[in-house]
Amino acid sequence: MERLTLNSFVNIIVNMKTVLQIKLLPDETQHAALKDTMRVFNEACNHIAEVAFREQCASKFVLQKLVYDEVRKRFGLSAQLTIRAIAKVVEAYKRDKSKPCFFKPTGAVVYDQRILSFKGLEAASILTLQGRLSIAMQMGDYQRLQFGRGHGQADLVRVDGVFYLLLVIETPTAPPIDPNGFIGVDLGIVQIASDSDGGSFSGEAVENVRRRYHTLRKDLQSCGSRSARRHLQRIRRNEARFRRNQNHVISKKLVEKAKDTERGIALENLRYIRERTTVRKPDRAKHSGWSFFQLQSFIEYKAKLNGIPVQYVDPRHTSRQCAACGHTEKANRKTQSRFQCVSCGHVANADKNAAMNIAARANVN
Ligand SMILES: [Zn+2]
């Protein structure tokens, strides 16, 4: 998802595409209008999808001739929303021509500059079945800063009854640095992330939240009512949001450290995770794998924006190997936190030792 532009000298400027999620604050009437528009837009998409499938047609131009007038009349969609619906169907149909595509009533509505515009940072002017509505937006500092990079193309989505605009923005990345070695990052539960300098991010807060939600979830699951189910959904969302925030904080600090010391970042290739047999294995299973993937992907994109190289290494035996002499034996790992080499006597914090091995493996490459 990146565009390369070569400038006249040696620097390569890469624009990275990221998505800005902007919360809309519609009043009651506006909320109903957005909901209606979304439902009808997707109904129209389903109708167009049937025609596309029946006619085996993946051409926007041809499909438009076939359905445009009918869709406008039958669904009351504006000209531009009809065009967007056709485009959405063509895109989906091209991906899978084996059956008519189906769109949920809450599927995204695609907006472009003709039907969506912004009034500063305060409001979006959005075309609905009730005409154009000026709807208040809620933005944080980061979003305000990045907002200008959007191109007026956005998806309107609805998540748990809340409407958002997903705005694609292009952020220029820094030219890659020539690193002075690597910072190794070891992932775990007791310490979510430990680096090869001895820095670490405790998993305690995350673990506490997880445990609290786990108990709550059990209580609610045994209950089984509709409100319990809804409550469960909210809990899952809160837990995910908490982890996401945590991952943002950790990745930001690690990338800042790498930038300050002009080093690259070495990460574990998580594909090997299942092959690992360390004392942390039961812990790892407990933690869902996706949050490690999420942390790594946050590190990777923040590193990219700052020109910091990221390398993935084979993490096998990193927790049993001595970072000082290279001797690898299970007995080196004395406890969860303590490493003592049976060959050379090197003593270290076990996570730091593992992170140093990860850094060393990146240096070799
Ligand atoms: Zn040793």
d(CA 233, CA 146): 30
DSSP string, 205-268: HHHHHHHHHHHHHHHHHHH--HHHHHHHHHHHHHHHHHHHHHHHHHHHHHHHHHHHTT-EEEEE
Q: Which residues surround ligand 1, an ion (CB under 5 A)?
A: 322, 324-325, 327, 341, 343-344, 346
Cβ proximity of 31 and 156 under 8 Å:
no
More confident residue, 104 or 151: 104
In the chain, % of residues over pLDDT 90: 59
Distance 351 CA to ligand 1 centre (A): 15
More confident residue, 349 or 232: 349
Distance 348 CA to ligand 1 centre (A): 10
Q: Residue 169's pLDDT is what?
A: 85
Q: Residue 365's pLDDT is what?
A: 58
Alpha helices in 105-203 (DSSP H): 141-146
pLDDT exceeds cutoff 90 at 143: no
Distance 216 CA to ligand 1 centre (A): 46
pLDDT exceeds cutoff 60 at 325: yes
Q: State residue 150 phi and psi, 5-degree precision.
A: -75, 165
Distance 324 CA to ligand 1 centre (A): 5
Q: What is the pLDDT of residues 222-277, one digit of tens each?
A: 777 888 888 888 888 888 888 888 899 999 999 999 999 999 999 999 876 554 44
Q: Residue 106's pLDDT is what?
A: 93
Which residue is associated with the tokens 């990745």? 251
d(CA 185, CA 163): 37
Distance 343 CA to ligand 1 centre (A): 5
Output the CA angle 328-334-340, nearest 5 degrees: 60
Q: Residue 14's pLDDT is what?
A: 59
195: nearest Cα among 132, 260, 284, 241? 260
Q: Residue 8's pLDDT is what?
A: 29
Output the CA angle 77-83-89, nearest 5 degrees: 100
213: nearest Cα among 186, 241, 172, 190? 241
Beta pairing partners, 340: 347
Average pLDDT, the chain: 87
Beta pairing partners, 347: 340
Output the CA angle 250-255-261, nearest 5 degrees: 130
Beta pairing partners, 203: none
pTM of the model: 0.69
Distance 285 CA to ligand 1 centre (A): 29
Which residue is associated with the tokens 């485009």? 87
In the chain, where the domains are located: 15-172, 182-202+248-364
pLDDT exceeds cutoff 60 at 287: no
pLDDT exceeds cutoff 50 at 42: yes
Distance 161 CA to ligand 1 centre (A): 57
d(CA 103, CA 47): 10
pLDDT exceeds cutoff 90 at 3: no
Q: Residue 273's pLDDT is what?
A: 59
- In the chain, what is the straight-line distance between the N-terminal and C-terminal CA atoms, in Å? 26
Q: Residue 289's pLDDT is what?
A: 59
Average pLDDT on 80-92 reads 96
Q: Residue 1's pLDDT is what?
A: 36
Average pLDDT on 16-22 reads 84
User: Which pLDDT band, with edges at 50, 70 and 90, does 4 fall under?
Assistant: very low
Could you tell me which CATH number the domain at 182-202+248-364 has? 3.30.420
Average pLDDT on 202-225 reads 78
**3-state DSSP call for residue 343?**
coil
User: Which pLDDT band, with edges at 50, 70 and 90, does 10 fall under?
Assistant: very low
Handedness of CA 259, 260, 264, 269 (dihedral sign): negative
C-alpha pair distances (Å), 302 with each of 192, 196, 253, 259? 18, 19, 10, 11
Q: Which amino acid is at 106?
A: T
Q: Residue 145's pLDDT is what?
A: 79
